[in-house]
A and B are shown apart, each in its own frame.
Chain A
Amino acid sequence: SYVLTQPPSVSVAPGKTARVTCGGNNIGSKNVHWYQQKPGQAPVVVIHYDTDRPSGIPERFSGSNSGNTATLSISRVEAGDEADYYCQVWDTSSGPWVFGGGTKLTVL
Chain B
Amino acid sequence: EVQLVESGGGVVRPGGSLRLSCAASGFTFDDYGMSWVRQVPGKGLEWVAGINWNGGSTGYADSVKGRFTISRDNAKNSLYLQMNTLRAEDTALYHCASNSSSWYDYWGQGTLVTVSS
- Give A residues with C-beta under 8 Å from B: 31, 33, 35, 41-45, 48-49, 86, 88-90, 95-102
Contacts and interface: CB of A to CB of B under 8 A. Distances in A.
Interface SS of chain A: helix, strand, loop or mixed? strand
Contacts of B105: 45
B95 interface: yes
A54 to B, nearest CB: 8
- Looking at A48, A90, A95, the one whose CB has the most chain B CB atoms below 10 A away is A95
A44 B61 CA distance: 22
Given A42-B108, A42-B109, A95-B61, A86 B45 contact: yes
Interface of B: 35, 37, 43-47, 50, 59, 61, 95, 97, 101-105, 107-110
Interface SS of chain B: helix, strand, loop or mixed? strand
Contacts of B59: 95-96
- Looking at A43, A44, A97, the one whose CB has the most chain B CB atoms below 10 A away is A97
A97 B107 contact: no
Given A90-B102, A95-B61, A97-B50, A44 B107 contact: yes
Contacts of A100: 44
